[in-house]
Amino acid sequence: MHVMAGLLRDADGRVLLAQRPPGKHLAGMWEFPGGKREPGETPLAALARELREELGVTLQHAEPLVALPWNYGGHELLLDAWRVEAWIGEPRPLEGQALQWQLPALVDMAILTPADRPILQTLIEACSAA
């Protein structure tokens, strides 16, 4: 399974996090918005679709950050994280999920789904190198 995740930053450098809704796997934990790529979709098209469905925004420009394999209880997934450099619209919680903007260095890793922790770490390192 190929899962896309988008890292949106605001003008203050804060990153957007979404909370997984009740009833879903890992409910209550926070993650970068995104979801499963469907057959026949390119990674970028899947990311654009997920961001439109979950946040109501139109992706304009994204750059790959890091893709890491993960195993959730027997399910192999590749979590493919992209920096979303430009989009149109104000992100809204269209799927009942809570949203928050937070400075990467201030995010408590414990609130993130395990697969998203190394992605945040990669973002923090990329920011300090820039």
Binding site for ligand 9L3 (CB under 6 A): 3, 5, 24-26, 31-32, 34-36, 72, 77, 79, 113, 115-116
Asked if 91 touches Mg ion (CB under 5 A), the answer is no
Rounded-to-5 percentages of helix, strand, coil across the chain: 25, 40, 35
Question: Which of 16, 115 has the CB closer to ligand 9L3?
Answer: 115
* Two tokens, residue 3: 């899962």
Residue type, 66: V
Question: Which of 18, 65 has the CB closer to Mg ion?
Answer: 18
Q: What gap in Å lies between CA 70 and CA 49, rounded to an integer?
A: 22
Asked if 35 touches Mg ion (CB under 5 A), the answer is yes
The residues of the shown chain that bind Mg ion, judged by CB under 5 A, are: 35
